[in-house]
Amino acid sequence: MLKFDNKGLIPVIIQDAADGTILMLGYASKESLKLTLESGEMWFYSRSRQELWHKGGTSGNVLKVKSMSQDCDSDTLLVKAEPAGPTCHTGKRSCFFTGFTKADLD
């Protein structure tokens, strides 16, 4: 059984099913996961907007789910998906394109 946080959410790592690139991290609710399973495309819960969010619903850059698995603690999901375009809202393929150094902690 999945372990959702105190807000009813669980982190979801999205990985490109073809080459393993990590594309993004989002959060899902039970409702968004049900929609994901029904549609075959990734749905999230937007923490900033406080609403369900169909990834690519506006842009067309949907994430077609190929597989879903939970980690050993059942508190994080890994979704392998086929992206239909850039995943990041900036137009980049992945949300992880900015380097990180100790200076970023200051």
Q: What is the pLDDT of residue 67?
A: 98
Q: What is the pLDDT of residue 2?
A: 97
Residue bearing tokens 């200076």: 103
Number of domains in the chain: 1
Residue 50 inside a domain? The answer is yes
- 3-class SS at 12? strand
CATH number at residue 34: 3.10.20.810
Residue 106 inside a domain? The answer is no
Q: What is the pLDDT of residue 59?
A: 93
Q: What is the pLDDT of residue 22?
A: 98
Task: Point out the residues of the chain with pLDDT beneath 50.
Answer: none
Burial grade of 49 (CB within 10 A; 0-12, 13-18, 19 or more): exposed
Beta bridge partners of 82: 64
Listed in sequence order, the residues at least 6 apart from 66 whose beta carbon sits closer than 8 Å to its beta carbon are: 17, 80, 81, 82
Residue 62 inside a domain? The answer is yes
